[in-house]
């Protein structure tokens, strides 16, 4: 299945095939979600079948909106598709931009809508094995310590989010 994502080509937002956008390092739209439960954040380990960064730990959910899909609709859709999470109300925190080499000659150059969503204590997580091989709840401090000790186990974008944008994402959680 060909997935077309909103990408800027010569300054104009244009649908481009997802792999092509990464191969060419084109600036494109993305969505990242952090599901929080008190002082914990849900992280996922990407499935080994992913075409980039397989087996690395990432934030709860990260994806690209489909053409003409709103960031909020995308966040809710992918929480369900990747993790079987339904019924949360993601809150938009900020829009940021980053560029990162994700290996295999691929570049993520993303304009990301960042969301958080508060999880109830009884949240059911049912990972889709095509997308996610593991999940874990970690406190903000545990996550930062793990990234500091073992950076190569985490996606480049999660490292960027924690290093440059954590106040926008976590505000009172990180205190």
Q: E strands within 10-166? A: 12-17, 27-37, 40-46, 57-58, 61-63, 91-103, 106-118, 132-139
Q: Is 82 a catalytic residue?
A: no
* Contact call for residues 57 and 158 (beta carbons, < 8 A): yes
Q: What is the residue-wise DSSP string for 99-125? A: EEEEETTEEEEEEEEEEEEEPPTT---
DSSP 73: H
Residue 162: which H helix or E strand, with range?
helix 156-164
Give the Cα separation of 144 and 28 in Å (integer). Answer: 27
Q: Is 142 a catalytic residue?
A: no
Give the Cα separation of 34 and 32 in Å (integer). Answer: 7
Give the Cα separation of 173 and 175 in Å (integer). Answer: 6
Cα 123 from chain centre: 19
Q: Which of 74, 82, 108, 110 is catalytic?
A: 110
Q: Which of 62, 74, 82, 108 is catalytic?
A: 62
Q: Please list the active-site residues.
A: 62, 110
């Amino acid at each position: 299945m060909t997935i077309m994502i909103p990408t800027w080509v010569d300054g104009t937002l244009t649908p481009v095939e997802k792999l092509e956008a990464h191969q060419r390092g084109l600036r494109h739209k993305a969505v990242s979600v952090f599901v929080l439960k008190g002082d914990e954040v849900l992280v996922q380990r990407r499935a080994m079948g992913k075409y980039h960064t397989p087996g690395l730990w990432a934030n709860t959910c990260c994806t690209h909106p489909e053409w003409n899909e709103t960031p909020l609709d995308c966040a809710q859709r992918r929480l369900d598709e990747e993790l079987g999470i339904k019924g949360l109300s993601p809150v938009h925190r900020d829009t940021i931009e980053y560029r990162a080499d994700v290996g295999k000659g691929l570049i993520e150059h993303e304009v990301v809508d960042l969301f958080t969503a508060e999880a109830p204590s009884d949240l059911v997580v049912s990972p889709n094995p095509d997308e996610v091989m593991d999940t874990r709840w970690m406190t903000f401090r545990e996550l930062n310590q793990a990234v500091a000790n073992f950076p190569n186990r985490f996606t480049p974008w999660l490292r960027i989010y924690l290093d440059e944008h954590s106040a926008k994402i976590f505000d009172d959680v990180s205190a």
